[in-house]
Amino acid sequence: MTTEKSYFLKLEKQYGPLSFGGMLRAWRESEEMTQTAFAKKIGLSVQNLNDLEKGRRIPTASRAARIAKKLGLPEISLIQLALRDSLVKEGFNYEVKLESA
């Protein structure tokens, strides 16, 4: 079994914990894309993207994996962010680290 380091580990060390929505927004802004263009790129409605970016919605693991694939990112990293956000929303302060089997 190999352990895959979090794709965002360096960013988190420098800036603190990332959220799924914060990562999406940062990615979109770094690409200088509108919400409309970015939503189309990742196959979401603009309202759904807006809800994700603002943390009003947290994606399922399967949706996080699909978004990762469309962005060319490791799916394990986005699933990890989504799971952590889900736990935080429920009041649990746990670190989430996934390993591929």
- CATH number of 52's domain: 1.10.260.40
Phi, psi of 42 (to 5 degrees): -100, 5
Is 26 within the bounds of a domain? yes
Task: Return the pLDDT at 101.
Answer: 81
**Number of separate domains in the chain:** 1
96 within some domain? no
Whole domain around residue 77: which residue ranges?
Answer: 9-89
- pTM for the structure as a whole: 0.84
Answer yes or no: is 18 within a domain: yes
The predicted pLDDT at position 89 comes to 94
Q: What is the mean pLDDT of residues 6-26?
A: 79
**Is the Cβ–Cβ distance between 19 and 81 less than 8 Å?**
yes
**Is residue 1 assigned to a domain?**
no
Q: Note whether residue 2 is domain-resident.
A: no
Residue 57 clears pLDDT 80, i.e. is over it: yes
- Tokens at 8, concatenated: 């965002």
Average pLDDT over residues 3-24: 73
Residue 96 has pLDDT above 90, yes or no: no
pLDDT of res. 15? 67
Asked whether residue 3 is domain-assigned, the answer is: no
